[in-house]
Every structure is written in structure tokens, then in C-alpha cells.
């Protein structure tokens, strides 16, 4: 399947999935359970509205979502109290799989959700969306329900695509356009078909999530795309246009940190994919500058893009979900010991 064929077949608009009763019937015929995970850190201003809308529309009115959970990184505000008061299950990431230790980062929350939640499909939605709407969930679930070959669905929004209503203006995606799209164009041209590869909203089948590693920080979305592509190819992906996403914008310094973490994740994978024989040891300190009263000060940020292993390699996970270790992981462990 070439890129143009994939775009025509696997790029959708949320309006295709307006009939939630039809989708629920298809979900029930397939015997699927769906979990919605919202990773949080100090999101008391927006988390309440998200929970109210998702619970009222997708749990109570239309039972598409079987489990609605917030997994928190240790918020210092009232995020967990607000979420619980509106009916979400709430968890601290540090209390899930405590024997695996505690790491801080969004990717850590997403990884621990695989163990904590029970769905055959897990939908991840960021907590800072101001124009939240049920389409942020059902628009991502739709391709997984109606296209059995699809394993991983990404959201996109505010991009220059032509539909019957005309062309929408571009907006957002600064790290995507100046970093990810050039890197993918050089190393993984097929992945450039994904319009917003760093979007924080996606829905994934459990068998995919449990089999890939998880960077704990900024590199998690990039690593997912590369690792899923290597195992299943472009046909495993779909993407859904959610029209518009309103959220707080980050400054250039924050985007620099994000880019630094993504580059660590990206280059860490290249030797294993045969692009380079070996990579030098990467530094973990990002150096930025600030100027005050004509004084130039270098600010150092230690950003370590640590990774969690595939969840299926954890004995506790296999015991909880009644799974066995796939042969390829036994082979990998044998190679490491030898």
C-alpha cells in the first residue's frame, strides 16, 4: 500500500462515526471492552469538564466506553479530587506496579495504564483540551471497530486538508513541522502520511500497547509510531480529523525540551533498525540561554528519556491478564544472557 492509497483508505473525519448506537452494536458483536485513559499533572481547570462530557455522553447515554480513568503523575492541585467527584476512576501512577519503581513523565502514565485498565482498546486523551467533545473519543475508536486490520489510530486537527466544505487553515504542530516531519522524510518516508504524529489523542489495541516499549517522557509518541511501523507496517495505522483542538500553547523553551527528548528516543532506535552501526553515548543535558540586565546565563536541563520495557515482558502483567510470554521475547532474553 503506497502513501496515497493509505491516505485515501485510512484517513477519516469524525463525522463518519456519528451513529454511536451502530458503533456500540458493532463493539458488542466483537466482544470488545474500551478503556479511556486521561493522563494528568495539575489539570484541575480542565479535567472536570472532560470527565462530565465523556461520562454523560459516552458512558451513561451511549455506553461506548466501559472504563473512564485518570492516571496522575502526582498533581499538587485538586486534579484527582475533581476527577473523582465527577465519576472517574482515579489512580496515582506511583501506586501502580510499585515493584517496578516510580518514574515521572506522561509516558510513564500511559505505560502503567496498560496494566491498570482492562480494555481491549485503550484511548488516550490529553487533559488540557478546552473545546472538549465526545468526538475526541468516538472519532478514534471508529476505525478500530470497522477496520479489523487497523491497530493504532491517531488524531489530527487544524491541518490544511480539502473536504466538501473547503480548505481549513493550518495551525499548531511546530515540533512536528520543524523536527518530526524532516526526520521521518529522511528515515521513514511512509510515516509522513500521518498528519499530526505528535498528537496526544490516540486509540490502540491492547496487543500492540503491551508489545512495545514506552519512553517515559517527550519521546513516547514518536517511539510508538516507529515501533508499530516496524512490526506491522503503515497499514496498521489510521488517522481521524477532529476539526480543531484548543489548548494552551507552549513557549519556544518548552518546545526545545520536547525536541531534545524526542531526538534521544529517535537516535536510540537507529542502530537497531540498521541505519547506523553504532551511536555515540548521547548527552542528557540540554543547554539554553536566558538574558537579564545584559548578563547571559546558560540554563541546563537534565532530560533523560528513559524507557519502560514492553508490558508483556512483566510477569505481574502476564499473570493478571492470563498471557504467556511470546517466543520472540524468550529469544531476546536468551541472547542477552549469552
pLDDT 10s digits, 111-143: 999 999 999 999 999 999 989 999 999 999 999
- Other C-beta atoms closer than 10 Å to the C-beta of 146 total 15
Per the domain annotation, does 309 fall within a domain?
Answer: no
Give the span between the Cα atoms of 156 and 243, in whole angstroms.
8
Look at residue 284 in the predicted model and tell me its pLDDT: 76
Look at residue 295 in the predicted model and tell me its pLDDT: 65
Per the domain annotation, does 132 fall within a domain?
Answer: yes
Which structural domain, as residue segments, surrounds residue 212?
3-250
**CA torsion angle 190 192 196 201 (round to 10):** 20
Please name every residue paired with 241 in a beta bridge, in sequence order, or none if there are none: 13, 156
Average pLDDT over residues 266-283: 78
pLDDT at 280 over 80: no
> What is the model's pTM?
0.88
Can you give the length of the chain in residues?
338
Per the domain annotation, does 169 fall within a domain?
Answer: yes
Look at residue 298 in the predicted model and tell me its pLDDT: 61
Look at residue 289 in the predicted model and tell me its pLDDT: 62
- Other C-beta atoms closer than 10 Å to the C-beta of 56 total 14
| Range list of β-strands (E), 93-249 | 121-124, 152-156, 162-163, 166-167, 202-205, 214-215, 237-241
Question: What mean pLDDT is reported for the chain?
Answer: 89
Look at residue 248 in the predicted model and tell me its pLDDT: 65
Per the domain annotation, does 222 fall within a domain?
Answer: yes
Helices 220-232 and 252-269 cross at an angle (nearest 10°) of 30
Q: In the chain, how many domains are there?
A: 1
**Using alpha carbons only, how large is the chain's radius of gyration in Å?**
20
Per the domain annotation, does 138 fall within a domain?
Answer: yes
Give the span between the Cα atoms of 261 and 271, in whole angstroms.
18
Map grid coordinates 495551525 to a residue: 171
Strands 162-163 and 237-241: unpaired
Q: Is 195 within 8 Å of 158 (Cβ atoms)?
A: no
Look at residue 99 in the predicted model and tell me its pLDDT: 94
Give residue 335's pLDDT band: very low, low, confident or very high (50, 70, 90).
Answer: very low
Average pLDDT over residues 104-110: 93
Which secondary structure element, helix H or strand E, spans residue 69, and what is its range? Answer: strand 67-72
Per the domain annotation, does 78 fall within a domain?
Answer: yes
Phi-psi region of 135 (alpha: psi -120 to 50; beta: other; left: phi over 0): alpha
Per the domain annotation, does 49 fall within a domain?
Answer: yes
Look at residue 253 in the predicted model and tell me its pLDDT: 83
Give the span between the Cα atoms of 123 and 242, in whole angstroms.
14
Look at residue 279 in the predicted model and tell me its pLDDT: 66
CATH number at residue 206: 3.90.550.10
pLDDT at 200 over 90: yes
Per the domain annotation, does 208 fall within a domain?
Answer: yes
Phi, psi for residue 333 in degrees, rounded to 5: -70, -35
pLDDT at 20 over 60: yes
Look at residue 326 in the predicted model and tell me its pLDDT: 92
Residue whose C-alpha is closest to residue 201's, from 49, 39, 21: 39
What is residue 17's DSSP assignment?
Answer: G
pLDDT at 310 over 90: yes
Amino acid at each position: 500500500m503506497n502513501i496515497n492509497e493509505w491516505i485515501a483508505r485510512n484517513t477519516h473525519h469524525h463525522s463518519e462515526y456519528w451513529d454511536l448506537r451502530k458503533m456500540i452494536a458493532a463493539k458488542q458483536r466483537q466482544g470488545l471492552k474500551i478503556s479511556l485513559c486521561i493522563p494528568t499533572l495539575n489539570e484541575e481547570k480542565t479535567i472536570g469538564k472532560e470527565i462530565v462530557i465523556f461520562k454523560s455522553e459516552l458512558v451513561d447515554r451511549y455506553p461506548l466506553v466501559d472504563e473512564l480513568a485518570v492516571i496522575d503523575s502526582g498533581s499538587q492541585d485538586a486534579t484527582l479530587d475533581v476527577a473523582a467527584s465527577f465519576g472517574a476512576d482515579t489512580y496515582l501512577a506511583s501506586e501502580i506496579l510499585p515493584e517496578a519503581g516510580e518514574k515521572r513523565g506522561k509516558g510513564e502514565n500511559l505505560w502503567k495504564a496498560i496494566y491498570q485498565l482492562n480494555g481491549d482498546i485503550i484511548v488516550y486523551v490529553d487533559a488540557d483540551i478546552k473545546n472538549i467533545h465526545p468526538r475526541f473519543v468516538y472519532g478514534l475508536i471508529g476505525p478500530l471497530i470497522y477496520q479489523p486490520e487497523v491497530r493504532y489510530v491517531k488524531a489530527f486537527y487544524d491541518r490544511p486538508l480539502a473536504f466538501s466544505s473547503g480548505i481549513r487553515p493550518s495551525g499548531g504542530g511546530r515540533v512536528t513541522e520543524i523536527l518530526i516531519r524532516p526526520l521521518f522524510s529522511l528515515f521513514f518516508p511512509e510515516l509522513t502520511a500521518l498528519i499530526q504524529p505528535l498528537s496526544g489523542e490516540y486509540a490502540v489495541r491492547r496487543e500492540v500497547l503491551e508489545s512495545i516499549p514506552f519512553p517515559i517522557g517527550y519521546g513516547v509518541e514518536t517511539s510508538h509510531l516507529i515501533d508499530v511501523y516496524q512490526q506491522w507496517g503503515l497499514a496498521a495505522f489510521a488517522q481521524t480529523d477532529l476539526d480543531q483542538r484548543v489548548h494552551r500553547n507552549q513557549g519556544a523553551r518548552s518546545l526545545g525540551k520536547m525536541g531534545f527528548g524526542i531526538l534521544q528516543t529517535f537516535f536510540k532506535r537507529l542502530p537497531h533498525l540498521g541505519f547506523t552501526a553504532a551511536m555515540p553515548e548521547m548527552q542528557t543535558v540540554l543547554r539554553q540561554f536566558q538574558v537579564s540586565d545584559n548578563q547571559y546565563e546558560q540554563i541546563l536541563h537534565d532530560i533523560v528519556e528513559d524507557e519502560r520495557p514492553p508490558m508483556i515482558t512483566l510477569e505481574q502483567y502476564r499473570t493478571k491478564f492470563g498471557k504467556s510470554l511470546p517466543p520472540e521475547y524468550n529469544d531476546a532474553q536468551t541472547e542477552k544472557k549469552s
